[in-house]
């Protein structure tokens, strides 16, 4: 049976990315060796990093003066690297979910942290608006897509301080005005590559401004100066990321990814709103994520949750159970998600409705 992969992360990748990576693992460029067996310093691996960096810059329209890094540690490591490198006195954070909160907690060890707004009291069901960011902060940290709660900032905030963005789960799904940011980071395993590599876009002249000692491995400068090769980078995930970047470019770039994301999300949210058995969890519809579409059984049909999960699973839906902290369902629809899979889930919801 065809599987429809709605996993939240690690998650769906384009089939050709998986095939090309599998091929390189068996025999890298006809060398008779596996990609897993060669040095990251081998002359035929350097072009992989170079092309991945170049495609990052091209696809996101990154201005001059920025570096793109491929590191280990996951987005969670960036929660500490960001304040280590950028927080001298004071930083502002927008508390929009579990990941945002973890980033904020880490920053508190490095200086004064202002939580400018939070939707935590309301279960993170919307993105706070009309907050004020103090003018004297070193940066304002946002989580552009809240993977667990299914909310998303659809535009880069208009503030007069440098932004830092966790874009783990919506990178390459919309155009970004990178010039507003001093740092953009994310784990690759939502929208780019298998787990193991973390992408970081960093503004070069924002580095070196804090007075503290930064441990070598946690210092962005180390990795900028060594082109992500200070130590052994995660070679296989970087190779896979390059295949995804090539795929995005061939499909028509970030604008096309955004168009597809809107089509998928409109279809699925329309069904959630129409179908009497279900309701969306995000209270402000304008804040609904195009990537992680969260819904629960309507109050009158609460008892049917386990039954729907079983029904949908039998029809090939994978990974639609909501995060344990929210419950219900979450259909993650990252860049590689075909519209046919979204239609298959909608068919499931309609069939289930007819049975009740």
Ligand X SMILES: *Cc1c(COP(=O)(O)O)cnc(C)c1O
When CB distances to ligand X are compared, the closest residue is 187
247 is in an annotated binding site: no
**Binding region for ligand X (CB under 6 A) out of 37-45, 153-161, 166-174, 311-319:** 166-174
DSSP alpha helix (H) spans, 134-234: 220-225
- Assigned token pair, 223: 């990795």
Is residue 187 involved in binding ligand X (CB under 6 A)?
yes
295, 332 contact by CB (below 8 A): no
Structure tokens that stand for 4 in this block = 């429809």
Cα–Cα distance measured from residue 282 to residue 132, given in angstroms and rounded to the nearest whole number: 23
Q: Is 156 a catalytic residue?
A: no
Q: Is 335 in the site for ligand X (CB under 6 A)?
A: no
Q: Which is nearer to ligand X, 282 or 346 (CB)?
A: 282
| Residues near 305 by beta carbon (within 8 Å), at least 6 away in sequence | 296, 297, 327, 328
Q: How far is the CB of 12 from ligand X (least distance, A)?
A: 15
Integer CA distances (angstroms), 249 to 54, 59, 246, 252, 255, in order: 12, 7, 5, 5, 10
Residue 319 as a binder of ligand X (CB under 6 A): the answer is no
Tokens linked to 198 = 């973390």
Is residue 337 a contact partner of residue 318, using CB atoms and an 8 Å limit?
A: no
Phi, psi of 319 (to 5 degrees): 80, 25
Residue 143 is a binding residue for ligand X (CB under 6 A): yes
Position among 6, 9, 181, 182 found at the interface with ligand X (CB under 6 A): 9
Residue 247 known to be catalytic: no
Q: Containing H/E element for 318?
A: strand 317-318
Question: Which position among 7, 18, 25, 76 is part of the footprint of ligand X (CB under 6 A)?
Answer: 76
Q: Is 222 annotated as a binding residue?
A: no
Q: Choose which of 11, 95, 118, 169 interacts with ligand X (CB under 6 A).
A: 169
- Residue 147 is a binding residue for ligand X (CB under 6 A): yes
Q: Minimum distance from CB of 169 to ligand X (Å)?
A: 4
Q: Kindly state whether residue 7 participates in binding ligand X, applying the rule CB under 6 A.
A: no
CB within 8 Å of 191: residues ≥ 6 apart: 11, 168, 169, 170, 171, 172, 173, 291, 334, 335
Q: Quick one: tokens of 174?
A: 């919309």
154 in the Ramachandran plot: left (φ > 0), alpha (ψ -120 to 50) or beta? alpha
Decide if 226 is catalytic.
Answer: no
Task: Report whether 166 contacts 100 (CB < 8 A).
Answer: yes
Size of the site for ligand X (CB under 6 A): 12
> Which member of 75, 92, 113, 282 binds ligand X (CB under 6 A)?
75
Which of 20, 101, 190, 203 is the catalytic position?
190
Does 234 participate in binding ligand X (rule CB under 6 A)?
no
Q: Which of 156, 166, 170, 287 is catalytic?
A: 166
147 annotated as ligand-binding? yes
Binding mask 96-115 for ligand X (x = CB under 6 A): ---x----------------
Binding positions are 41, 75-76, 99, 147, 166, 189, 231-232
Binding positions for pyridoxal 5'-phosphate are 75-76, 99, 147, 166, 189, 231-232
Give the catalytic positions in this structure: 99, 166, 190
Binding site for ligand X (CB under 6 A): 9, 74-76, 99, 143, 147, 166, 168-169, 187, 190
């Amino acid at each position: 049976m065809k599987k429809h992969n709605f996993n939240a992360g690690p998650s769906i990748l384009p089939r050709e990315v998986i095939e090309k990576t599998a091929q390189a693992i068996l025999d890298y460029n006809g060398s008779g060796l596996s990609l897993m067996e060669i040095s990251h310093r081998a002359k035929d691996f350097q072009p992989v990093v170079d092309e991945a960096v170049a495609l990052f810059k091209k696809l996101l329209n990154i201005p001059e003066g920025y570096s793109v890094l491929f590191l280990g540690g996951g987005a969670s490591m960036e929660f500490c690297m960001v304040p280590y490198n950028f927080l001298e006195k004071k930083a502002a954070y927008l508390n929009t979910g579990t990941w945002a909160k973890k980033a904020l907690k880490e920053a508190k060890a490095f200086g004064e942290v202002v939580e400018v707004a939070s939707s935590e009291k309301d279960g993170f069901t919307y993105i706070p608006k009309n907050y004020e960011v103090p003018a004297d902060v070193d940066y304002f940290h946002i989580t552009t897509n809240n993977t667990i709660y299914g909310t998303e900032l659809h535009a880069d905030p208009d503030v007069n301080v440098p932004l830092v963005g966790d874009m783990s789960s919506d990178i390459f799904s919309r155009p970004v005005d990178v010039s507003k940011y001093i740092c953009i980071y994310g784990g690759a395993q939502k929208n780019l590559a298998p787990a193991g590599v973390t992408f970081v876009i960093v503004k070069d002249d924002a580095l070196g401004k804090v007075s503290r000692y930064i441990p070598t491995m946690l210092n962005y400068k180390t990795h900028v100066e060594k082109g992500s090769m200070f130590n052994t980078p995660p070679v296989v995930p970087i190779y896979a990321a390059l295949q995804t970047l090539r795929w995005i470019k061939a499909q028509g770039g970030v604008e096309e990814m955004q168009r597809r994301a809107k089509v998928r999300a409109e279809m699925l949210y329309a069904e959630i709103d129409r179908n009497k058995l279900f309701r969306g969890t995000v209270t402000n519809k304008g804040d609904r994520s195009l990537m992680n579409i969260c819904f629960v059984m309507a109050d009158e049909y609460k008892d049917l949750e386990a039954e729907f999960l079983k029904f949908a699973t039998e029809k090939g839906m994978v990974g639609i159970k909501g995060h344990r902290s929210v419950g219900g369902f979450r259909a993650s629809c990252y860049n590689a998600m075909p519209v046919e899979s979204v239609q298959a889930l909608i068919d499931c919801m309609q069939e289930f409705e007819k049975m009740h």
